[in-house]
């Protein structure tokens, strides 16, 4: 929530707005070239991790990127 609030404030200074579509966590293991997206936000609910994973795959094509709804 803190990150979203800071981002929303910064965008507002530029005349922009944003909406949080959900939350979760990211485990990044650069030595293993692995990223795992999981969990949810108590305040914002669960994000669509499949969408997040596809965005990450485009940016990090040489990583193994997975997701799960389990975990907090």
64 located within any domain: yes
pLDDT at residue 1 greater than cutoff 70: no
38 located within any domain: yes
16 located within any domain: no
Say how many domains are in the chain.
1
7 located within any domain: no
High-pLDDT (> 70) share of the chain, %: 97
User: Which of these, 66, 22, 21, lies nearest to 40 by C-alpha position?
Assistant: 22
Average pLDDT, the chain: 94
* pLDDT tens column, 22-55: 999 999 999 999 999 999 998 899 999 999 999 9
Beta strands across the sheet bearing 64-68: 25-29, 34-38, 64-68
4 located within any domain: no
Determine contact, residues 57/33, Cβ cutoff 8 Å: no
pLDDT at residue 71 greater than cutoff 80: no
Residue 58's domain comprises 21-68
CATH code for the domain of 63: 3.50.20.20
Section 14-23 average pLDDT: 95
10 located within any domain: no
């Amino acid at each position: 929530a803190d990150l979203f609030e800071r981002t929303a404030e910064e965008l507002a200074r530029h005349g922009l707005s944003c909406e949080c579509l959900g939350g979760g966590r990211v485990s990044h293991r650069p030595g293993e070239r692995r990223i795992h997206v999981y969990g949810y936000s108590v305040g914002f609910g669960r994000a669509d991790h499949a969408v997040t994973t596809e965005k990450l795959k485009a940016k990090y094509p040489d990583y193994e990127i997975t997701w799960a709804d389990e975990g907090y």
